Structure 1
Amino acid sequence: MNHQNRSSSLSSCLSQCNFLGTSNQHSTPNIEESQEYTRQEMKDSEGMLATELNKLSLQERNEALEDIHCVGHDLEETPELVQEILAKFDQTVQRQQKQDPTYQEVAKRHRAYVEDPSFRLKFLRANMHNVGRAVSQMFHFLRNKAKYFGNDCVGREITFDDLNEEDRQLLLSGKYHIQKDKDRSGRVVMYSIPELIGGASAESYCRVAYYVYFNILIPIPEVQMKGLVYVLYDISKKEKRPTMPHINLTMASIDMILSLPIRFSATHYCLKARQEKLGPFNSVLKIVFKVVGDYSYCKVRSRMHYGSDTELQYQLRSHGINVDSIPIDAEGTLREDIRNDWLYERLAGMGRSSIFPALVSAGGSKGAIAVNHDAETLVGNAVAHGASGNNVEKYSPIIPTDGDILLGRGRLVQYNPGNIHFRGLAFKYRDAYDTAPGLRRKEIVSEVSGIISSEGRRFLKQIDSGVWVKSNDKETNTKIAQLFREFRKFKNK
């Protein structure tokens, strides 16, 4: 089932459900009946997950279980493989683009954007290098981007300034939270708290989902190579019926998530123990399973947890997640001391600390104070590692994007899209550099550096765990010259 068919299937499935967006319409059964019914319904939900798991081969089943239990493996890539799948991707686009008017229009006006290898590689990685699914998802992505941000924004990156006041309120609500600590496998963990959606419109919800996933999560190298751990956490009080989203929001949000190049390596549904039936949740789960169709990757990597907050967090810990820094305490209360930390650190890295007061007035006062202090601490660390007090901006902490070139070693650096682009650009100058005299070689290095800068890319170095800063000109030129020497060694061999 392709992404377009999934969207129509989603509409037909959800139109049959009348429980979404409604309040409690039936009396609560007595405790004994409710608890027994809940245990049975948990079995029904877990049975759906088990059914999907049993459809897999033994190897696929073992891989899914390893991902769930935090012992999975990174996505395997080599430079040769990347070039091969990008070539197949382009061939598939050429064959199928006539079926998608949105892509054709975007390609006419913004060809560089849709043909950027780092952009296409996001979709290939999210789909485990399955070219057909990756192309279909890219077409779906562009349609949704045009729908929620307008045709004029499709061929460029979306920024914080593209979000309206309602979007920013939702962003600050705590609905999303990116955990500071990664799980035992080094994977990024994100929490979604449905109770905090409030009265947000479906359009606002989708714009914020786009911003959080595409602008913040997907550029993280670990997310592309390891996948994302997603935790849906119910913080509603056990004596109350959990808030169910409106049908329009549910339809739109699932469709948006399906269009984003993100791979969920593990999904945990954390439901509060309550005197309540789980029929609505099971119905939503069935809809999601039907909509995603043959793409069972996320379905077989899901687990359901049920109990008190202490029990839920114990179960998360058993799956390799550090519960010391999750956004909910043992009593089920949202932790205001770390609320929105991830967002403010992101904005500080973008040099947008000047908008902190505006965000505070929008409802994030406690988080703003805490995170503003954290941002200053990061800058202080940067200064301690060699920056002068008069040049703090140059050494301010930065959140790396796909376009940036990362200095260092390791597979995540080697296969970072920005580094791949950098090597491809430098390779074009390899022969000229080898035959040039010393002074001309310096000019070639400066020329390559200038091209990188004109493309809006940055050379970044890591000065502390998770803290990236912009490298100076000398370090940048040394890196470029070093790459040319590596080309020469490889050529001689």
Structure 2
Amino acid sequence: MWDDSLWDGYSLTQENDTDTDIKPDEDDSKSAEVFSRRVPPNASDPKSADSLIASQMAKLSVADREKVYMDVHAIPDDCVVETPELIQKSLRVLQHEIDILPDKKAYNIAERLSPKYTQDREFRLAFLRCEKFECQKAALRFVRHFQVKLDLFGQDMLTKDITQDDLDVDDMECLYLSNGRFLNAHDKAGRRINMIVMVQKTYRTVTVLRKGFYTLMTAYRDLEIQRRGFVTISIQFGDEINGTSADNADLVWKLPKLNEAVPLCLSATHLCYTKEAWDGMHAMIKTAFSKANQVRCRVHCGPILKCLEELRRHGIDPSYIPVNHKGEITDLAKDRKRIEQQRRQERLKYPTHSTIALPFCEDVLLGKGTPFQIHHGNKKLQQFVTDRFKKYERAQKKGEKKAVAQEIMDVVRGNGGLFLKQDGNKWAPVTDDVALMKVGALFRYLRLKNGTK
């Protein structure tokens, strides 16, 4: 049953309700636009943000308040029972709701480019699950998804799954910081935990948004996340905002809005920080959230261990959060391997790209000089050649040596690697013949090195 603790300190006095200039966006329920919505004049004012949220809470029914309380405190909720009848009916109604939406430019482009992609049954079901099969809400989220994707990646990527090979160098550097990702951990309601840690590094707004979109759209493939949603823990510890992405008001306003355009339900957000210097940023975050997410946002201020301990009463074990008492991430090496494994799986699942901004560690780079020789993929290729040198030398019949070289190429590609050459400021896969020549040249070099004929 809902009780007064739901309000968590929010004031509903008449004074607070009238002081704010922040007004809910009345077009939220209609527009496919996400990033272009105006920033309220008092978006970074903590008092105004809290008053806005209190106003939103006051409009909720008792049942809705109780649902918010359950979500914020990780009290398990029953998932929708997905009968064949419900799924069939919901998919039909979803299409109707999409059809009657007035603002769906990006969706219409995607529909023309690839109806197979936009009408994929499992893809659409993810949006329905996110909105608990409320078809009108799912339809709006669906068309917003394509609008955001068009804004961030352009028309060519509108009907393709985003992979690491689609990201540019800055995007990949931001991804490998590991400061924003889903942990292999759940709260007491069975929801995955999404961790965001502020670091002393700044990136362009589009870089962080592209990285965030990729992270969310990779996580959505988990069926349990679709059904149960996820919870975000945002951690900012330090005295200064300068030198961090929090100093970018455009990014602070836009990043929370990604949650309105992906097939994942954000069940709760916990903002953890130490200093009042972060108050303005958190006010803007809370204001930028949709109405549903605003009332599910909670703030924890104080020393890091105190903030993390407070998460216990929200169903989150603080030992799951990989940060130390200084707010530093403690599992960077482990998470880097996770990201690499993710890229390996993408390489094996999706068609090879014509160009790549940043090579994979398993790639073989064609070129001369130390940077090429010390690249991980090149060193592994050298070891493959060394291990098969005797077999290569024993091969006498026509095609046998080529078969040994082909075997090595298959091993490289089985690990997700490609043979790449520089193409301007990018990298391009070479043909099989060129790759075979590279492997053959390494065998000949090893022969000369060993002094064999």
How would you bin the TM-score normalised by the shorter chain?
A: 0.5 to 0.7
Tell me if the contact between 2:304 and 2:326 (Cα under 8 Å) persists in the aligned partners: yes
Query: 1:65 Cα shift?
Result: 1.0
Give me the whole-angstrom Cα distance separating, in 2, the residues matched to 1:270 and 1:227. 20
Tell me if the contact between 2:300 and 2:310 (Cα under 8 Å) persists in the aligned partners: yes
User: Could you tell me which of 90, 108, 112 is aligned with 1:108?
Assistant: 112
Residue by residue, what CA displacement relative to the aligned partner does 1:245-291 show, whole Å, maximum 9, x if unpaired? 3233234434433222221111111111x3x35551354145325xx
Query: 1:176 Cα shift?
Result: 0.7
Within-5 A mapping of 1:7-86: 7=33, 11-13=37-39, 16=41, 49-79=53-83, 80-86=85-91
When residues 18 and 2 of structure 1 are mapped into structure 2, their CA distance, relative to the original with a 3 A threshold, is: closer
Secondary structure in 2 aligned to 1:13? Answer: coil
Confirm whether residue 145 of structure 1 aligns to residue 149 of structure 2.
yes
Match of 1:199 in 2: 202
Query: 1:218 Cα shift?
Result: 0.9
Secondary structure in 1 aligned to 2:143? Answer: helix
Identity of aligned residues (%): 21
Match of 2:181 in 1: 177
Match of 1:209 in 2: 212
When residues 148 and 4 of structure 1 are mapped into structure 2, their CA distance, relative to the original with a 3 A threshold, is: farther
Give me the whole-angstrom Cα distance separating, in 1, the residues matched to 2:100 and 2:30. 17
User: Could you tell me which of 343, 346, 370 is aligned with 1:347?
Assistant: 343
Within-5 A mapping of 1:65-464: 65-79=69-83, 80-96=85-101, 99-195=103-199, 198-214=201-217, 216-235=218-237, 237-238=238-239, 243=244, 244-272=246-274, 274=275, 276-277=276-277, 279-281=279-281, 283-285=283-285, 287-289=287-289, 292=290, 296-335=291-330, 336=332, 338-340=334-336, 342-350=338-346, 355-356=360-361
Q: TM-score, normalised by structure 2?
A: 0.64
Tell me if the contact between 1:167 and 1:204 (Cα under 8 Å) persists in the aligned partners: yes
Q: Which amino acid is the alignment partner of residue 355 of structure 1? A: F
When residues 278 and 254 of structure 1 are mapped into structure 2, their CA distance, relative to the original with a 3 A threshold, is: closer
Query: 1:132 Cα shift?
Result: 1.7
Higher helix fraction: Structure 1 or Structure 2? 1
Query: 1:158 Cα shift?
Result: 1.5
Secondary structure in 2 aligned to 1:355? Answer: coil
Moved more, 124-133 or 340-349: 340-349
Tell me if the contact between 2:163 and 2:343 (Cα under 8 Å) persists in the aligned partners: no
Query: 1:121 Cα shift?
Result: 1.5
Give me the whole-angstrom Cα distance separating, in 2, the residues matched to 1:19 and 1:298. 17
Q: Which amino acid is the alignment partner of residue 346 of structure 1? A: Q
Give me the whole-angstrom Cα distance separating, in 2, the residues matched to 1:194 and 1:248. 16
RMSD: 3.5
Give me the whole-angstrom Cα distance separating, in 1, the residues matched to 2:169 and 2:242. 29
Query: 1:309 Cα shift?
Result: 0.9
Tell me if the contact between 1:305 and 1:315 (Cα under 8 Å) persists in the aligned partners: yes
Give me the whole-angstrom Cα distance separating, in 1, the residues matched to 2:51 and 2:251. 27
Tell me if the contact between 1:3 and 1:137 (Cα under 8 Å) persists in the aligned partners: no
Q: Pick the structure with greater CA Rg.
A: 2
Match of 2:19 in 1: none
Query: 1:239 Cα shift?
Result: 6.9
When residues 76 and 87 of structure 1 are mapped into structure 2, their CA distance, relative to the original with a 3 A threshold, is: same
Secondary structure in 1 aligned to 2:181? Answer: strand
Secondary structure in 1 aligned to 2:324? Answer: coil
For structure 1, the residue ranges without an aligned partner over 5 or more in a row are 21-40, 363-367, 369-392, 398-493
When residues 264 and 159 of structure 1 are mapped into structure 2, their CA distance, relative to the original with a 3 A threshold, is: same
Residue by residue, what CA displacement relative to the aligned partner does 1:326-385 show, whole Å, maximum 9, x if unpaired? 121133222145444542443355467x93367xxx9xxxxx9xxxxxxxxxxxxxxxxx
Q: TM-score, normalised by structure 1?
A: 0.59
Tell me if the contact between 1:4 and 1:140 (Cα under 8 Å) persists in the aligned partners: no
Query: 1:44 Cα shift?
Result: 7.6
Residue by residue, what CA displacement relative to the aligned partner does 1:193-213 show, whole Å, maximum 9, x if unpaired? 2335x2311221121111100
When residues 350 and 338 of structure 1 are mapped into structure 2, their CA distance, relative to the original with a 3 A threshold, is: same
When residues 278 and 146 of structure 1 are mapped into structure 2, their CA distance, relative to the original with a 3 A threshold, is: closer
Tell me if the contact between 1:184 and 1:320 (Cα under 8 Å) persists in the aligned partners: yes
Secondary structure in 1 aligned to 2:295? Answer: helix
When residues 333 and 159 of structure 1 are mapped into structure 2, their CA distance, relative to the original with a 3 A threshold, is: closer
With a CA cutoff of 8 Å and minimum separation of 6, indicate the structure with the bigger relative contact order: 1
Give me the whole-angstrom Cα distance separating, in 1, the residues matched to 2:213 and 2:317. 26
Match of 1:2 in 2: 28
Give me the whole-angstrom Cα distance separating, in 2, the residues matched to 1:346 and 1:138. 25
When residues 138 and 162 of structure 1 are mapped into structure 2, their CA distance, relative to the original with a 3 A threshold, is: same
Give me the whole-angstrom Cα distance separating, in 2, the residues matched to 1:44 and 1:150. 36
The count of corresponding residues between Structure 1 and Structure 2 is 332
Give me the whole-angstrom Cα distance separating, in 1, the residues matched to 2:43 and 2:136. 35
Tell me if the contact between 1:263 and 1:298 (Cα under 8 Å) persists in the aligned partners: no
When residues 44 and 329 of structure 1 are mapped into structure 2, their CA distance, relative to the original with a 3 A threshold, is: farther
Secondary structure in 2 aligned to 1:191? Answer: strand
Give me the whole-angstrom Cα distance separating, in 2, the residues matched to 1:264 and 1:9. 18
For structure 2, the residue ranges without an aligned partner over 5 or more in a row are 1-26, 349-358, 364-370, 377-410, 416-453
Secondary structure in 2 aligned to 1:195? Answer: coil
Match of 2:421 in 1: none
Give me the whole-angstrom Cα distance separating, in 2, the residues matched to 1:312 and 1:129. 35
Secondary structure in 1 aligned to 2:188? Answer: coil
Q: Which amino acid is the alignment partner of residue 122 of structure 1? A: A
Tell me if the contact between 2:44 and 2:283 (Cα under 8 Å) persists in the aligned partners: no
